Amino acid sequence: MRILLMLAVALLLISCGAQMPPDQSAQPASAEEYKETPEIPSVASAVDAGSIGTALSYLASDALKGRASDDEGIEMAAVYIARYFEASGIKPYYPGYRDTLSNVKPATVNIVGYLEGSDPELKHEFVVLGAHYDHIGAVEPVGGDFIANGANDNASGTTAVMEIARKMAGSEHLKRSVMFVLFSAEERGLKGSAHLADRLDKEGVKVYAMLNFEMVGVPLEKDYTAYLTGYEMSTMAEEMNTLAGEQLIGFLPQAREYKLFQRSDNYPFYQKFGVPAQTVCTFDFTNFDFYHKPGDEFELMNLEHMAAFVNRILPVVEGMVNSEKGVIRMK
């Protein structure tokens, strides 16, 4: 989510007198300290503030240096995510889960895993669940802190997809196949998703629907939990609320006003496959002040909210994977 968003955020910051980010004067820890990736919870263990916090704090740690897609921190994140998939029994869609982008230099990779569906016909269709795991790296220092850690943008969405994958690996009843994708180079213009959508299309892969997770680290203060970009374009939002049995997903007018549908990794999938491909998000320009700033830190993430969000959206995503033909469709 790029230029318009920055304008919107700048306007808001001016209007609401930004708070100072927490003091980060301590020198960033050496990469050495993080060679060991955190322990990965078992498929059976619950999604809770602890499991969310472990993954998110690593991804948003100073040692990963804000995960710019042309810097070493992104590779550490890629290794961790691949280990997470492997430990959870998610199969590599490409060797080593690694899909090297053809449209940026220096090279960087998307991490792609999958679960095969059980229905003889529907298993040939994929539901794609994605999030970008890159961020912008070093920025103008604020209070001596020059690392944009990207906890909310988008270590939060990355963690949500990793945790959903871990739990779905334990599901016995998935009719369609599910692809889990962590995109790189989103911050350089949706490069990772554009590359993969093009590659999958060339490989003849059928996509039924795509759901992208973006900035889900802090809760919305609304009568729904998250909004969907392109809300009015398909039946996805209403089908998700039917499956949730509650108003989980809502419509955010600013999302349409700022054309957010076109600003995140769902868009290249919509362009390439013409199917419902939308982004779920809990950032509404008023509930988080540190977009693309050094202050986008792990400590500001609401882990209870994230755990509740993941646990409520899990059965919804499974319901989407098992939905009858044509239930989730463009309007």
List residues binding Zn ion (CB under 5 A): 153-154
- Give the residue with the Cβ less far from Zn ion, 58 or 133: 133
Residue 153 or 296 with smaller CB distance to Zn ion: 153
Least gap, CB of 267 to Zn ion (angstroms) = 13
Distance in Å, CB of 265 to Zn ion, minimum? 9
Contacts 24+ apart (CB under 8 A), 106-109: 106/70, 108/69, 108/70, 108/74, 108/134, 108/184, 108/185, 108/192, 109/78, 109/184
Q: Give, in order, the Cα–Cα distances in Å from 266 to each of 80, 193, 228, 279.
A: 23, 8, 11, 6
Single out the residue of 234, 285, 230, 301 nearest to residue 260, CA to CA.
230
Q: CB of 152: closest distance to Zn ion in angstroms?
A: 8
- Cis ω for the linkage preceding 106 (within 30 of 0): yes
CB of 330 to Zn ion, least distance (A): 24
Which of residues 186 and 318 has its CB atom nearest to Zn ion in the complex? Answer: 186
Q: Which residue has the tokens 């491909």?
A: 277
**Smallest distance from Zn ion to CB 142, Å:** 19
In this structure, are residues 192 and 183 in contact, taking their beta carbons and an 8 Å threshold? yes
| Shortest distance in whole angstroms from residue 182 CB to Zn ion | 12
- The residue among 117 and 137 lying less far from Zn ion, judged by its C-beta, is 137
CB neighbour class for 3 (10 Å; exposed up to 12, middle 13-18, buried from 19)? exposed
What is the distance between the alpha carbons of residues 89 and 97, in angstroms, rounded to a whole number? 12
Give residues with Cβ within 8 angstroms of 302, minimum separation 6.
217, 218, 219
Q: How far is the CB of 93 from Zn ion (least distance, A)?
A: 23
Task: Give the torsion sign (CA, 183, 189, 191, 193).
Answer: positive
Alpha-carbon distance of 264 to 299, in angstroms, equals 25
Interior CA angle at 217 toward 90 and 280, to 5°? 70
Quick check: 279 and 213 in contact, CB under 8 A?
A: yes
Shortest spacing between CB 215 and Zn ion, in angstroms: 6
Residues in the chain: 331
